Amino acid sequence: MLFPGQGAQSVGMLDDLASDHAAIGQTLDEASQILDYDVAALISEGPASIVDQTVYTQPLMLAADVAIYRAWLAAGGQKPSFVAGHSLGEYAALVAAGALSFVEALSVTTRRAQAMTDAVADVEVAMAAVIGLDDASVESVCNSAAEASGEIVSPANYNAPGQVVVAGQAGAVEKASEQAREAGARMVRPIAVSVPSHCALMRPAVASLEAALDATELATPDITVLHNVDAASRSERADIQRALVEQLWQPVRWVDCVERMRDAGANMFYECGPGRVLAGLNKRIDKTLDTVSLGDASAFDRAVRETG
C-alpha cells in the first residue's frame, strides 16, 4: 500500500469516493475537530489557493490518505503486507501500520508544515524535475551548481529511473537546471512550490519536528513500513523518530522503497490516496508492477472484490 504526499492534492480529490463510503466522511469530520476548520469543505470546494498552501496541504493529504485506507478496510479490502508513503505520505503509512494515531499524526504534520514554511520564510527557493539523466549525473550537476553559486541545491526525490527532483535556493536550482540540459536531460520542469522539501534548507525545521515527535506516542508497527531515507523498516520508537527527522532534509529514495517491496515478494501495489502519481512512478520503476489507484471509485470497487 503506497500513500502519496504533497503534490497529489487537488480540490475535489475525494468526491469520487465520499458518497459511497461513510468512513471517508467520518475521517474528515474527525480531522475537522482536531484541526478546527472544515476539512471536508476545503477538500471538496477549495479554493485551490488554500489547499495548495503547505500548512494546509500536508494535514489535508494525510486526512485524505487515511480516509481512503479506512474506507478500504471497511469495504472488506485486504490488509497490506507492506506500506510506504512518499514524503508526507510516510505519516499516513505509519497511521495505517498502527505506529501513529491519526489524531497525533494530524498534529505532527501541521507542526511540520509550519516549521518547513518558517525555515525558508526569507529565502527564494525552487524545485525542478530532471527527466532523462541518471542519478549520478543529477548529483554531479547539483554539486557543480552549488559550488558555482555558493547556494544549496541537491536531489530531493529519487522518484524513478531517469526522474529526479532537485531542490534548493532558486539561483542554484536554475544553475543546476541549465547544467542538466547541457548534460543531455530530456526535460527539466520547474515545480511550483513554496517549500523546497528534502534538502538542507529544511534543517532549521528539525528542532520543531523533534519537539513534536518527542510529545507523540510511537508504537511498533504491525505492518512493515519502509522509510524514505533508506527503504529500511524500523520497530523501535527512537529509530522511527530518527527516520522521520532525517526525512525532513534528506532525499526521498522512492525507487529503493518500491524495489525493496517487489524483491520481498510484493506482486500487487495499491496507491492509497488521491490521484495516480505513484502508479505512474511504478510504471517507470518496473513496467511489470501492477498498481491500482484507489482514489478512483471504479478501481476501488474492483480491487475490493478481487482482494476481499
Catalytic residues, by residue number, are: 87, 198
Q: Are 60 and 92 in contact (CB under 8 A)?
A: no
37 grid coordinates? 476548520
Are residues 167 and 201 in contact, defined by beta-carbon separation less than 8 angstroms?
A: yes
Residues forming a β-bridge with 157: 165, 252
Strands 125-131 and 2-3: unpaired
Helices (H), the chain: 15-18, 22-35, 39-45, 48-51, 54-74, 89-96, 102-119, 135-149, 170-182, 206-214, 237-249, 254-263, 277-285, 297-307
**DSSP secondary structure of 110-124:** HHHHHHHHHHTTTS-
Give every CB contact of residue 32 below 8 A, 6+ residues apart in sequence.
38, 39, 40
- The strand pair at 252-253 and 153-160 is best described as parallel
- How far is residue 83's CA from residue 69's CA, in Å, rounded to a whole number? 11
